[in-house]
Amino acid sequence: MRNDPVIQAEGLTKRYGDTTAVEGLSFRLPRGATWGLLGGNGAGKSTTIAMLLGLLVPSAGRVTVLGHDMARDRFAALARMNFSSPYVALPHKLSVAENLRVYAHLYGVARAERRIAELAAELHLEDILERPAGQLSAGQKTRVALAKSLINEPELLLLDEPTASLDPDTGDWVRGWLERYRARSGCAILLASHNMAEVERLCGHVLMMKRGQLVAEGSPAELVSGFGRDNLEDVFLDIARGRQAGGEAAA
Amino acid sequence: MSGAQLAARRVWGLVYRHLALYRRSWPRLIELMYWPVLQMLVWGFVTAYLAGVQQNTGTVAAGVLLGGVLLWEVALRSQMGFALSFLEEVWSRNLGHLFVSPLRPRELVAGLVVMSTLRMLVGVLPAVGLAWLLYGFGLFALGPVVVLFFAALMMMGWAVALGVTALILRHGAGAEPLAWSVLFGLTPFACVFYPVSTLPVPLQWVASALPAAHVFEGMRAAVLEGRVETGHLLAAFALDGLWLLLLGRVFLGQFEAARRSGALSNIGE
């Protein structure tokens, strides 16, 4: 069904012994939308993404991705989604083209060489296709990681800090490219980031997490106005430091 | 594409990833051949010396020793080929991408089995050729039964590697040394160079649970008496099936446990 959400999380919870990493997280990511997942270090963003990817089994709750229950049928969803993170490497000894070829095979991409050529042209990778992935600059690695994450033309893209460690110019180029890609493809994007300007620019809706819980959500403009602040960074600081919407300090 | 074709393509994707690695790294290729060739050279000279001392009456014994060395390398290289191919993914921090792709755990195992076979062949066949050139020992002169010996020992190597990989999933980098060492520890019970009857009775029970001990009993029968020990071969394959089933379940169980504990996303750290 085209109106079904791409991600439907219901009461998603992850506990490690006595520690609760994520508790009772529920949200519905619509098709074609870009949402941000924000929170300080240890807020539960990475754990949430790992559960959405089926890499981690929730202690409680349920997540459905592209209509597939991730507890029972995750591989059907995984073929139609993809993931990029600067913290998960591609094999350094393999060339960029070889890396992309590996993932084209893993995702069953038809006409793989044509797809790789398309991505190389779109992401300006033509000159580095034969270079080992370990010899690339941070900006080049980011573009290669993006190419890997788009190899199967995903309907859902999970991005974990896609512009971390990039210079402002390259970061801006990546953000612009993501905007154009989403508009063109209709792909839904869930973006975890610490860059508030990036989130304000790309995301129509933001989920704010703290200590594993969803503490606020809304469009960047709604959050900024709800907290009586000038920008999302101040809202982030309010939440991180325990101030409520309207600037009151939490009890 | 059908489901089976897609599965085959995913397995090929994993194999291609490792072949590409070897294409770019000749030291890795040399390393595959290094130990089997070295082992064969040392044992070859030892058996040549013994044959000389015993005025050539030791020729048959030399065959048993060289055959044992070469066939045991089949098991060792198969086990290492599987476990080290998995560790390559850990070392390159690539598991996070693999495990969120549509690659099923059983396809991961199939890809590692293919890589293990290729690595074993690249490692052992030069040693087999050299044994023939230097010492006139033709392993394949034993007949088609050698292929069965190879198959039984490869299966044992994969079974042990499944156990080792499960331990790596459970304990992370701390279990890495097992990838090199675990099968060496079974050498005394595999009865590579002596009959099972040489062992004390309690250890004979241990040996009888290992497919390798049956393979080497069969090899000695083939070299010394020129006959095929069907009973030992069947026992080896039956035990292989049993161990593969058991350790395959351990691997899959540990894979799921790692998904619950979060170890899958930070293995190797």
Residue B150 reports pLDDT greater than 90 = yes
Q: What is the pLDDT of residue B69?
A: 92
Identity of the residue in B24, B97, B262 whose CB atom sits nearest the CB atom of A90:
B97
Burial class for A151, CB neighbours closer than 10 Å (0-12, 13-18, 19+):
buried
Residue A86 sits at the chain B interface (C-beta within 8 Å): no
Asked if B265 lies within 8 A of A106 by C-beta distance, the reply is no
Distance, in Å, from the CA atom of A10 to the CA atom of A56, rounded to the nearest integer, reads: 15
Q: How far is CA B143 from CA A77, A220, B40, in A?
A: 50, 75, 20
Residue B182 reports pLDDT greater than 80 = yes
C-alpha dihedral, A169 to A170 to A175 to A181, nearest 10°? 130
What residues of A are in contact with residue B14 (Cβ under 8 Å)?
102, 106
What residues of A are in contact with residue B24 (Cβ under 8 Å)?
93-95, 132
Residue B224's pLDDT band (cuts 50, 70, 90):
confident
Asked if A132 lies within 8 A of B24 by C-beta distance, the reply is yes
Show the tokens assigned to B155.
């299966």
Chain centroid to CA A143: how far?
A: 15
Q: Is residue B162 within 8 Å of residue B248, measured between CB atoms?
A: yes
Interface with chain B: mutation pick from A51, A106, A149, highest number of B CBs within 10 Å: A106
What residues of B are in contact with residue A95 (Cβ under 8 Å)?
20, 24
Q: What is the pLDDT of residue B201?
A: 95
User: What average pLDDT does this structure show over A171-197?
Assistant: 91
Asked if B265 lies within 8 A of A90 by C-beta distance, the reply is no
Backbone angles phi, psi at B92, to 5 degrees: -85, 5
Q: How far is CA B249 from CA B186, B235, B246, B265, in A?
A: 21, 21, 5, 21
A94-151 pLDDT tens trace = 999 999 999 999 999 999 999 999 999 999 999 999 999 999 998 899 889 999 999 9
Q: Is the entire prediction scored with pTM above 0.95?
A: no
Nearest one of B150, B181, B179, B176 to B75, comparing CA atoms: B150
| H-helix segments, chain B | 3-23, 26-53, 59-91, 95-98, 105-135, 145-171, 178-181, 187-190, 201-208, 211-220, 230-261, 263-266
ipTM of the modeled complex: 0.88
Residue B59's pLDDT band (cuts 50, 70, 90):
low
Identity of the residue in A50, A95, A106 whose CB atom sits nearest the CB atom of B101:
A106
Distance, in Å, from the CA atom of B163 to the CA atom of B226, rounded to the nearest integer, reads: 35
**CA closest to B111 among chain A residues:** A106
Residue A125 sits at the chain B interface (C-beta within 8 Å): no
Residue count (chain B): 269
Residue-range domains of chain A with CATH: 1-80+156-215 (3.40.50.300), 88-153 (no CATH)
Asked if B10 lies within 8 A of A91 by C-beta distance, the reply is no
Identity of the residue in B9, B97, B256 whose CB atom sits nearest the CB atom of A105:
B9
Nearest one of A32, A44, A17 to A215, comparing CA atoms: A44
What Rg do the C-alpha atoms of chain A give, in angstroms? 18
